[in-house]
Amino acid sequence: MHWQQKIPYLIGHPIGISFINGQGTSGVLCSAHDGQLYVYEYLYQAQFAMKHYDYRQVQDIHAFPNCPHQNPLY
């Protein structure tokens, strides 16, 4: 499935984005329009920022997987 076809299923969910330059980022996919992905990303402390990325920069997007089942750590 081409990554643009995943967009409707991933709005409002945490995603990872791989860029064509080999870098990546992650955040919550808030919207996608006018050839841009709008992603809410964590900066530091209690600060977040809405960032946008041109479709032409994006190689793929992936939903975050569920946490693996582990015994609780005490």
Identify the residue with better confidence: 73 or 48.
48
Report pLDDT digits (tens) over 23-70.
999 999 999 999 999 999 999 999 999 999 999 999 999 999 988 877
Reported as half-sphere exposure (CB side, CA atoms, 13 A), residue 64 has a value of 13
CA–CA separation, 12 vs 6, rounded Å? 12
Please check the confidence at residue 74 and state whether its pLDDT lies above 70.
Answer: no
CATH number of 3-62: 1.20.140, 1.10.357, 2.30.30, 2.40.230? Answer: 2.30.30
- The mean pLDDT value for 1-28 works out to 96
Q: Model pTM?
A: 0.87
